[in-house]
Chains A and B, each alone.
Chain A
Amino acid sequence: MSRFEQGILIAGIAGLVCCAAGAWLDAKAMLGAWLAAAVFMLGLPLGALTILMVHGLTGGSWGRAVREPLRAMTATLPLALIFFVPVLTRLGLVFPWAGADPATLPETVREKLAYLNVEFFLLRFVGCIAIWLVLIWIALGSTAGRDHQMGRNGKRYGVGLILHGLAVSVFSTDWMLSLEPEFTSTVFALYEAAAQVVAAFALAIIVLAARRAVDVMPGAKEDVALSEDLANMLLGFLLTWVYLAFMQWLVIWGGDLPDEIHWYVVRGHNGWQYVLWLLIGLNVLAFAGLLSRQLKRAHAGLLGLASATLAGHFADVFWRLRPPLLAHGPISLWHDVVAWVGMGGLWLALFIFLYRRPDRMSLWKREAAHG
């Protein structure tokens, strides 16, 4: 392990210690902050898994270039899942439907307690975990090596993507949508999946471009720089996400039903509007920058654009998840800081460790295969 990785790991452990203290002081406030950070962390490997499987289906030189960072990201999935364990121990502190007296819940929520109950929730989560573990095993296994054979895996990836889609839908409904159990939105799972893909791809570009110029890497077409290709892919993913986010807003604005619009009302007041402006600003910045060929071809430009996109995603996750969980005003935001540092440090250390030593991934894979 290099000093850099050790430093990150130590920061992460320090953060975790603070989190433990936070949980001891106020478990509810701590878990609320913890969940938002855990969802962000899990989004990265899930997004990477989506991209790996889509690339397995379609092929294309863009995927070959980002394969290594995506593989390392995918391999961190078990760690990201472990982050959810603390929340599982006290579900009632986070989810209004868990542990509450049904009589106190609104009628629409009482109607869906057959789905939103702790046992079924745990069962579904275990199901999602099982699907994802199998999928990363398949995805990491078949993308190993220099140039894996495409086409032969088409059907496997096709079925994999269907299962993955179901798992992500169940996950986003359970862990994100049900934080406000009155609210429903059919597009929410796609919206979340698109956000994950944007984040994973942006991070992959950052990692790829961090140390060296992207242009000289293999995988470029004869007349288009690889960096431009990757940036265009990022633009495509970003636009998909923007589209889904705007459509959810537009439809809910149009319907103006109390249960639905409340989701946005909460997120447009009490300071949350500033987070919203920040996230819009970052994404507009990234979008405008991604139209410029000079920026896309420049090393620093590409790095900056991907960073702005990732920062925008960070703001987005925070804005979507945090408002219903934040109880005591801005003072309790220190919980968030320690949760981000703790989980982020741990995750980043593992990610960098795996990215620098791709051979360790196969070791991990063999272990997983054996048991």
Chain B
Amino acid sequence: MSLYGILAVFGEPEALVEAAGGMRDRGYRHMDAFSPFPIKELDQILEIRGSRLPWIVLAGGIASAALAYALILYSVEIDYPINVGGRPLHSWPPFLVIAFEAGILGAAFAAFFGMLAANGLPCYHHPVFNAEGFGYARGGKFHLLVETADPKYRKGVTKGQLRRLGAESVEEIEA
């Protein structure tokens, strides 16, 4: 079993943010933080870039709406053209309504599954779950992970730095 990284536990969100900032100042880049609720300040410290999700959602919506409209157009113009109530074959006002609904559906699927795919979920096994006391069992704790992949990583040194930054406990986790 190889080592995956070092996980430090903090009691408060502020302590986590402070420690993450401190580790960043010391040059660490391969880090992750775990918290029971989102903490905005971490985005900058961990260099979380703006997500491309909005574009995926936009594409999903447009593609889905276009597909629905094309299907309708094919059915009324090519496959089964029939005069109903004197309405034109290409009755765009009603068709827009269905295309709109389809667009919303496609965009929602893109948002939901796009998020899961980008986050690599579902992921039922992950090294951090090996850590003692990781998770929400006793209410949320705030964790900072330094991966062994980090060029600055030195087992003893990193642990010491984390402790000095106020970690309640520091643990090595197996991959």
Interface residues in chain A, defined as those with a beta carbon under 8 Å from any beta carbon in chain B: 223, 249-250, 253-254, 291
Contacts and interface: CB of A to CB of B under 8 A. Distances in A.
B97 A250 contact: yes
A337 to B, nearest CB: 34
A312 B30 CA distance: 50
A227 B93 CA distance: 34
Interface in B38-74: 40, 58
B94 interface: yes
Contacts of B58: 291
B65 to A, nearest CB: 14
A250 B58 CA distance: 25
A253 B40 contact: no
Contacts of A254: 93-94
B93 A249 contact: yes
A250 B40 contact: no
Main secondary structure of the interface of B (DSSP, over half): helix
Nearest to B92: A253
A223 B39 CA distance: 13
Contacts of A253: 93
Contacts of B94: 250, 254
Contact of B93 (A223, A250, A291): A250
B151 to A, nearest CB: 32
A254 B93 CA distance: 9
Contacts of B40: 223
Nearest to B97: A250
Contacts of A223: 40
Interface string B84-118: 00000000011001000000000000000000000
Contacts of A291: 58
A253 B94 CA distance: 9
9 contacts: A223-B40, A249-B93, A250-B93, A250-B94, A250-B97, A253-B93, A254-B93, A254-B94, A291-B58
4 closest A-B pairs by beta carbon, nearest first, are: A253-B93, A250-B93, A249-B93, A223-B40
Contacts of B97: 250
Contacts of A249: 93
Nearest to B50: A293
Nearest to B87: A256
Nearest to A293: B54
Nearest to A249: B93
Contacts of B93: 249-250, 253-254
A254 B96 CA distance: 13
B53 to A, nearest CB: 13
B157 to A, nearest CB: 35
A228 to B, nearest CB: 14
A288 B94 CA distance: 22
A253 B86 CA distance: 12
B97 to A, nearest CB: 7
A76 B68 CA distance: 48
B94 to A, nearest CB: 7
Give the interface centre of B40, B93, B94, B97 by most chain A CB atoms within 10 Å: B93
A250 B94 CA distance: 7
B95 to A, nearest CB: 11
A253 B93 CA distance: 8
A249 B94 CA distance: 11
B5 to A, nearest CB: 30
Nearest to A222: B40
A249 B97 CA distance: 12
B138 to A, nearest CB: 31
A223 B97 CA distance: 35
Given A250-B93, A250-B94, 7 more contacts: A223-B40, A249-B93, A250-B97, A253-B93, A254-B93, A254-B94, A291-B58
Nearest to B58: A291
Nearest to B43: A223
Nearest to A253: B93
A302 to B, nearest CB: 19
A143 B93 CA distance: 43
A291 B94 CA distance: 25
A231 to B, nearest CB: 15
A172 B13 CA distance: 56
A15 to B, nearest CB: 39
A185 to B, nearest CB: 16
